[in-house]
């Protein structure tokens, strides 16, 4: 559709007009100064539109860990207010977390990189670390005093509701480059895997295939030992597993020994799945365009455990795939609960082996 010159001109004028609503510059505040100004009431939080965004303990600890690691922190947005104080348009949770930590009211727990600091409060850190922390710069987008309340609120809403947060598979892919991580990436290029466990273009952009492959190896590696370190937090468990395997595979002898073994585990499972499940593969229906994670976990790991126990396995029926008991086990409700994870995998294993028991 060709747009008229009048419509194009109206668009141009509106964009130029609204662009003038936002004037800003950037400033750097050291954490110590930011905390002092907040404690004195010079920096304040407009409660009326920030109160619904509350960080949990793990969010606070991750934020402090990022600062201690020297990672870049997303911009905060501040603005002048009518009474001369400075309004925190976006950054309330970060500011409050900094204050809480510096006041020794926050104990670090659940840190995955700086795990030696778990259980620490600010006062427990070495004095040199304390000083560096307090002198860390926080970059702020400082809105001009002419920025209206409605524009400030619009900025806040857009920052906190637009975009998608990074999935654990994306973060893991971006932060891992060891031999095992590369092996997992190669698994997602396996043609049979992609045929049996299809993903949509959108989910694959976010490394859904990598997530499925990681879950297969992490759970199958530790299943018979009871997944002792698994507490239902899948992201944390997968992160630790991949880091541990990357470290193991740094040893050339371990890599040579395990690489082919892991590849065979993956391909043997896929070949059996192809013969047993047919064209439907791990999908819910033959026409489904994606693969449910709980269904993939149950079938892929159940198959692996069954053929490990009985290499010449040749089950006579697959009617149980549509059994209400199985369908109930692979529902998404509390799917990451440890007992449910075990239940669905064991169900598949037992159904495959029942003619041999």
Is pLDDT above 60 for 173?
A: no
Taking Cα atoms as reference points, which of 102, 109, 108, 107 lies closest to residue 134? 102
Report CA 283 to chain centroid distance, whole Å.
Answer: 23
Considering the entire predicted model, what is its pTM? Answer: 0.59
Query: CA separation (Å) from 221 to 4, 245, 322?
Result: 63, 11, 28
Is pLDDT above 90 for 75?
A: no
Structure tokens at 110: 């659940």
Q: How confident is the model at residue 72 (pLDDT cuts 50, 70, 90)?
A: confident
- Cα radius of gyration (the chain): 26
Among positive and negative, which fits the CA dihedral 54, 57, 59, 60? positive
Is pLDDT above 60 for 89?
A: yes
Phi, psi of 71 (to 5 degrees): -75, 150
Structure tokens at 97: 């977390």
Q: Is 60 helix (H, G, I), strand (E, B) or coil?
A: helix
Q: How confident is the model at residue 283 (pLDDT cuts 50, 70, 90)?
A: very high
Is pLDDT above 90 for 224?
A: no
Q: What is the pLDDT of residue 4?
A: 81
Contact between 291 and 331 under an 8 Å Cβ cutoff? The reply is no
Q: What is the pLDDT of residue 191?
A: 95
pLDDT, mean of residues 244-267: 94
Q: What is the pLDDT of residue 142?
A: 80
Q: Determine the angle formed by the axes of helices 31-39 and 127-134, rounding to 10 degrees.
A: 70
Write b or e for each residue in 260-278: b if 16 or more Cβ atoms lie within 10 A of its Cβ, otherwise e: eebeebbeebbebbeebbe
DSSP assignment of 193-260, as one string? HHHHS---HHHHHTTHHHHHHHHHHHHHHHGGGT-TT--S-HHHHHHHHHHHHHHHTTSHHHHHHHHH
What are the tens digits of pLDDT across the range 126-164? 999 999 999 999 988 887 665 666 565 565 555 554 444
Taking Cα atoms as reference points, which of 286, 256, 281, 260 lies closest to residue 191? 281
Q: How confident is the model at residue 178 (pLDDT cuts 50, 70, 90)?
A: confident
Q: How confident is the model at residue 333 (pLDDT cuts 50, 70, 90)?
A: low
DSSP code of residue 333: T
Structure tokens at 142: 């400082």
Contact between 266 and 187 under an 8 Å Cβ cutoff? The reply is yes
User: Measured between alpha carbons, how far is 62 from 42 in angstroms, rounded to an integer?
Assistant: 27
Contact between 173 and 242 under an 8 Å Cβ cutoff? The reply is no
Q: Are strands 86-90 and 137-143 parallel, antiparallel or unpaired?
A: unpaired
| Residue keyed to tokens 């530790």 | 222
Q: Determine the angle formed by the axes of helices 234-248 and 168-175, rounding to 10 degrees.
A: 20
């Amino acid at each position: 559709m060709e747009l008229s010159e009048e419509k194009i001109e109206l668009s141009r004028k509106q964009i130029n007009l609204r662009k003038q609503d936002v004037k800003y510059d950037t400033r750097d505040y050291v954490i110590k100064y930011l905390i002092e100004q907040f404690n004195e009431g010079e920096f304040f939080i407009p409660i009326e539109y920030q109160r619904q965004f509350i960080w949990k303990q793990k969010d606070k600890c991750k934020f402090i860990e990022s600062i201690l690691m020297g990672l870049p922190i997303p911009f905060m947005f501040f603005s002048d207010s009518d009474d001369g104080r400075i309004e925190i348009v976006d950054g309330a949770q970060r500011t409050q977390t900094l204050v809480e930590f510096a006041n020794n009211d926050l104990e670090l727990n659940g840190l995955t990189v700086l795990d030696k600091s778990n259980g620490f409060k600010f006062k427990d850190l070495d004095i040199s670390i304390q000083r560096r922390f307090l002198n860390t710069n926080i970059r702020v987008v400082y809105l001009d005093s002419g920025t209206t309340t409605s524009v400030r609120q619009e900025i806040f809403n857009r920052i906190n509701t637009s975009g998608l947060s990074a999935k654990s598979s994306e973060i893991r892919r971006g932060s891992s480059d060891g031999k095992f991580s590369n092996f997992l990436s190669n698994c997602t290029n396996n043609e049979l895997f992609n045929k049996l466990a299809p993903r949509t273009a959108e989910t694959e952009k976010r490394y859904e295939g990598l997530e499925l492959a990681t879950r297969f190896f992490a759970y199958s590696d530790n299943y018979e030992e009871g997944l002792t370190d698994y507490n239902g937090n899948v992201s944390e468990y997968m992160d630790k597993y991949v880091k541990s395997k990357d470290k193991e595979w740094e040893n050339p002898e371990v890599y040579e020994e395990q690489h082919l073994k892991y590849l065979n585990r993956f391909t043997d499972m896929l070949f059996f799945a192809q013969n047993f499940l047919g064209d439907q593969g791990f999908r819910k229906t033959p026409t489904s365009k994606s693969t449910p994670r709980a269904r993939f976990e149950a079938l892929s790991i159940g198959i692996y455990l069954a053929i490990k126990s009985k290499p010449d396995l040749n089950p006579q029926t697959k009617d149980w795939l549509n059994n209400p008991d199985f369908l109930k086990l692979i529902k998404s409700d509390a799917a990451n609960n440890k007992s449910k994870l075990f239940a669905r995998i064991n169900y598949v294993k037992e159904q495959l082996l029942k003619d041999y028991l």
